[in-house]
Chains A and B, each alone.
Chain A
């Protein structure tokens, strides 16, 4: 059995109780506690936490990071592919294809290259730059969907299904509600909707992030804030995008006899959908599926692979049986959380 390991001394980073630390460059990557200098792969809450003195992220991460971390945070950014030298360590950001601005962080010193990929997916996505293969010696990979039951369907088929479902509901005068994480998934869903079918409304937490996307010139269909209270609107042909936390709130009441769906990679398994008590599940994930993980890892040509959040054990075991040196890394990243949570919508959108 493979134990969770700390990287060996030859690596460019170590695992500390604050997060991944690059001693040579004296910076952290996605730390889970406040540190002097934090490099951020992407603005999801489990990767971009509050409390550090300085943040560095990709240019496209900045608008969401600012909304997340507050205006007082010191956030600087780099365009994708541009190299910055920090204490002799070369640092650059490369698209991870996960959400707007998401990056793989490449660090290099004395010819040794390590890539920390945060969260990533290989499938195309109109709302962010697509995954770029970065060759390296050491690759740090997530494993959220690291089991061979996860094979993503073609995204266009999923969007077609979604629009068909919406149209059918609209014909029956039923509003459609899709639950999707407020940052990333919600915008990807929006990008696939056909605005001819009816008006699109968003929960406040989603609408706030939409603005950041539009700031970065990402093309989204027109949306409108669905409002706080019991607004009397004609919802009968509407599509409403809401974060999963809204599922149990009274906010939904105003939509009456709405049809509900959830967009997530977890919807692959029927039991997950039934447990959430929703009618439809659309399999749409911003993480790599099993073939995607193996494909990405292979293409980096890395020899050593460290596996973070998800089905770590299975992926590590598989990689070790297939010629890699792989080990688990116990981080505090959470993956695409299926677990329900309480708390306000702000907290909710920080998931995955």
Chain B
């Protein structure tokens, strides 16, 4: 436990990814396997089911600290984290050294809480709290409440393990799939030598597109180009090799377990196939807004309800490996026609070909592109028919020809300090639109102003603060900004009833008074009335 508390402190004391990785690497090398298994479990974000009610934790710690409830709540409000509040109100404690291994703590003082009656829980917790110093008490509370928020993730745990034991991260990702218990056997298997898994699980580097800012005519004849929709989903690569399959995101996160309904269709692919494409939320023949897919990704467990609410498809747009052979050097047109053949066999499949968008000339294509918003896509992708599949963002082969963003004039009403080099300036703004004579907040935006403008806005905020709520200031409604954003969606979580995607500041409208800003109704009217259906005919392209 002491070792783990030390790790936790090292993780907390740095904002640098490299130092976090080093700290975890050291721990995984030094800790005994049973402890290391538990550390993998909690650091990768897995959670125990709730062991103790939060209300009880609050009551019992206030009782031990001899604080009235109102004062404990005041403290909680200031600290903002329950585990930390409890650790702090109980003072620095006897000593920071903790006896017992992490595994012993789990087995004796954490897991048993789940099956205890209240009185037993209270005694166990208060005893542990009294023994621990404030830092180890904090770590102990975090292990009980889950949600470490220490800036590590499954990905960084995988990276650290790969550094410690000289294994490919992808191999570790694969070994961490599925349900497992944090046992020493599991940990030893996790770090065992590569048994040919690297070759099987390795995706190809993704080819990325550049934004097309010039008129498309600059690309020359349309005949050299293949056009398709620019989908708004999760870019991913399907690997179907040997007996296995892998679905990798661009961030090399293994997505297999996120989208289990793809399993059968992927396994039906011929062995030795790698396909590049995009996972999309898809219902009744049309794309679901990205927000829906986001909801699904954010779930730790993919249950039947979310699978029903947000069904998905994999839209395939390129073929990288065929019959076990790397075909990336073949021209796009050839790869594409091979891909069409592979996917043509099964009408029911959730793997779908990205339809070609046809136009006789650039003007007609531009006309097609103007329907993007109704189709819930981001615009068009233009791919050079003769080009190989390149690595990374290479100019000249793939272009994204996106649609213009929406714009609206909104009033700045809240501000918060930024991060990093802008930590001392108010750079994170909340904007509002008029509804009747009140301003309804609808979007937050961070970027888009010049440094000089940011400093001026910062000064305005400091001189026109109405109220402070912790780090947030409410500001006199006076400054108007033109905001751009990519999409609008209904949202019950937002006061305005809508959520906008990728909002950013286009410019400061110093020429406008707050009363000139747009109304919320104006924003609502921009929402696509009904997303059009992409018909089967179009799918065939």
Contacting residues, chain B, for A321 (C-beta < 8 A): 68
- A220 → chain B, closest Cβ, in Å? 28
Contacting residues, chain B, for A147 (C-beta < 8 A): 71, 74-75, 78
Contacting residues, chain B, for A248 (C-beta < 8 A): 421-425
Minimum CB distance partner of B86 in chain A: A149
**B471–A277 CB distance below 8 A:** no
Q: Which of A148, A268, A270 lies in contact with B71, CB distance below 8 A?
A: A148
Is A301's CB within 8 Å of the partner chain B?
A: no
**Residues 67 to 106 of chain A near chain B (Cβ within 8 Å):** none
A151-B88 in contact given A271-B80, A275-B417, A340-B424 (Cβ < 8 Å): yes
Contacting residues, chain B, for A318 (C-beta < 8 A): 71
- B139 → chain A, closest Cβ, in Å? 12
Minimum CB distance partner of A276 in chain B: B423
**Residues 106 to 159 of chain A near chain B (Cβ within 8 Å):** 147-151, 153
Partner-contacting stretch, out of B7-15, B259-267, B487-495: B7-15
Number of A-B contacts (CB under 8 A): 71
A275-B471 in contact given A148-B71, A340-B424 (Cβ < 8 Å): yes
**A340–B417 CB distance below 8 A:** yes
Query: Binary interface profile of B, 81-96, with partner A (CB < 8 Å = 1, else 0)?
Result: 1001100110110000
**A277–B420 CB distance below 8 A:** yes
A151-B13 in contact given A271-B79, A271-B81, A277-B419 (Cβ < 8 Å): no
- A69 → chain B, closest Cβ, in Å? 25
**Residues 237 to 283 of chain A near chain B (Cβ within 8 Å):** 247-248, 268-271, 274-277, 279-280
Is A317's CB within 8 Å of the partner chain B?
A: yes
Contacting residues, chain B, for A274 (C-beta < 8 A): 15
Is A5's CB within 8 Å of the partner chain B?
A: no
Is B531's CB within 8 Å of the partner chain A?
A: no
**B70–A317 CB distance below 8 A:** yes
Number of interface residues of A (CB under 8 A): 27
- B79 → chain A, closest Cβ, in Å? 5
Cα distance A321–B67 when bound, in Å?
A: 12
- A245 → chain B, closest Cβ, in Å? 8
**A149–B75 CB distance below 8 A:** yes
**A149–B88 CB distance below 8 A:** yes
Cα distance A153–B89 when bound, in Å?
A: 13
Contacting residues, chain A, for B67 (C-beta < 8 A): 148
Minimum CB distance partner of B93 in chain A: A151
Cα distance A150–B84 when bound, in Å?
A: 12
A279-B15 in contact given A271-B79, A340-B417 (Cβ < 8 Å): yes
A148-B13 in contact given A321-B68, A340-B417, A340-B424 (Cβ < 8 Å): no
Is B152's CB within 8 Å of the partner chain A?
A: no
Minimum CB distance partner of A279 in chain B: B14
**B420–A270 CB distance below 8 A:** no
Cα distance A53–B81 when bound, in Å?
A: 49
Is B65's CB within 8 Å of the partner chain A?
A: yes
Is A314's CB within 8 Å of the partner chain B?
A: yes
Cα distance A291–B424 when bound, in Å?
A: 32
Cα distance A236–B153 when bound, in Å?
A: 33
Minimum CB distance partner of B87 in chain A: A149
A149-B89 in contact given A269-B78, A269-B84 (Cβ < 8 Å): yes
- A156 → chain B, closest Cβ, in Å? 13
**B70–A340 CB distance below 8 A:** no
Contacting residues, chain B, for A153 (C-beta < 8 A): 92
Cα distance A340–B71 when bound, in Å?
A: 27
Q: Which of A270, A276, A314 lies in contact with B81, CB distance below 8 A?
A: A270
- A147 → chain B, closest Cβ, in Å? 5
**B65–A148 CB distance below 8 A:** yes
**Residues 303 to 352 of chain A near chain B (Cβ within 8 Å):** 311, 314, 317-318, 321, 340-342
- B12 → chain A, closest Cβ, in Å? 7
**Residues 381 to 426 of chain B near chain A (Cβ within 8 Å):** 417, 419-425
Q: Which of B13, B88, B421 lies in contact with A279, CB distance below 8 A?
A: B13
Minimum CB distance partner of A153 in chain B: B92
Cα distance A274–B12 when bound, in Å?
A: 9
**B91–A151 CB distance below 8 A:** yes
Cα distance A315–B74 when bound, in Å?
A: 11
**A314–B71 CB distance below 8 A:** yes
**B70–A148 CB distance below 8 A:** no
Minimum CB distance partner of B79 in chain A: A269
Q: Which of A148, A291, A340 lies in contact with B423, CB distance below 8 A?
A: A340
The interface centre, meaning the residue of B65, B70, B75 with most chain A CB atoms within 10 A of its CB, is B75
**Residues 412 to 443 of chain B near chain A (Cβ within 8 Å):** 417, 419-425
- B181 → chain A, closest Cβ, in Å? 31
- Identify 17 residue pairs between A and B in the complex whose beta-carbon atoms are under 8 Å apart, listed by A's number: A147-B71, A147-B74, A148-B65, A148-B75, A151-B92, A247-B423, A269-B84, A270-B81, A275-B417, A275-B423, A277-B15, A279-B13, A279-B15, A280-B13, A317-B70, A318-B71, A342-B462
Given contacts A149-B78, A269-B78, A270-B81, 18 further A-B contacts (CB under 8 A): A148-B75, A149-B85, A149-B89, A150-B88, A151-B91, A151-B92, A153-B92, A248-B423, A274-B15, A275-B423, A276-B423, A277-B419, A277-B420, A279-B13, A291-B91, A311-B74, A314-B74, A342-B458
B contact residues vs A (CB 8 Å cutoff): 12-16, 65, 67-68, 70-71, 74-75, 78-81, 84-85, 88-89, 91-92, 134, 417, 419-425, 458-459, 462, 471
